[in-house]
A and B are shown apart, each in its own frame.
Chain A
Amino acid sequence: QLQLQESAPGLVKPSEALSLTCTVSGGSISSSPYYWGWFRQPPGKGLEWVATISYRGSTYYNPSLHSRITISIDPSNNHFSLRLNSVTAADTAVYYCARNLRYHYDFWGQGALVTVSS
């Protein structure tokens, strides 16, 4: 059974960069036709798509975050990552990673809470 597990720092200071990693087990991150995505959910609010990367490394970003984010994939370690620069309190959220299969997300990680605070 495929499993995804987010790793995140928990607490990040304003203006710093946030790095998250999603480790995939039970399947290869390089397998076609899967894509891999990041989502986030501020406390008490709805879900927001952040970024998606294909098994070949093609990237897709939420336009509202595009200038601050980078998504990457590491087949050798079977994980993919997200970097969000210049964070503010508005970036406080539970961050989820998920697998995309032909236009839907079928497996999700349990989520990792990231708080931006000094």
Chain B
Amino acid sequence: QSALTQPASVSGSAGQSTTISCSGSSSDVGGYDFVSWYQQHPGKAPKLVIYDVSNRPSGVSSRFSGSKSGNTASLTISGLQAEDEADYYCISYSSTNSLWVFGGGTKLTVL
């Protein structure tokens, strides 16, 4: 069982927007602005798409954005494209004895 809670799946039509949530606690998501999001296509390595809650690495599309409210972080993907179909994971720094905590992953389907 993952420390952070993500929906198992979300879907959206091409061109629309979708949001993936990541719920934790005050020991991780709520206590620090160190949430990052990773995109993983089947058989591929994870790719960083958002770090420190809302920052985009160089080269990542501006269609990806992140935010946080309380103990819940969110990843929003606007203008959905077929290539966005993948699994998405959130990771947070944690003040518990496990330095990094993960969400269980969300499968995004683009309709």
Contact = CB atoms under 8 A, between A and B. Distances in A.
Interface of A: 37, 39, 46-49, 52, 60, 62-64, 96, 98, 102-106, 108-111
Contacts of A47: 38, 40, 46, 89, 91, 102, 105
Main secondary structure on A side of the interface with B:
strand
A108 B52 contact: no
Contacts of B51: 103-104, 106
B89 A104 contact: no
B45 A103 contact: no
Interface stretch (B17-25, B67-75, B76-84, B93-101): B93-101
Contacts, number: 60
A63 B99 CA distance: 9
B47 interface: yes
A46 B105 CA distance: 6
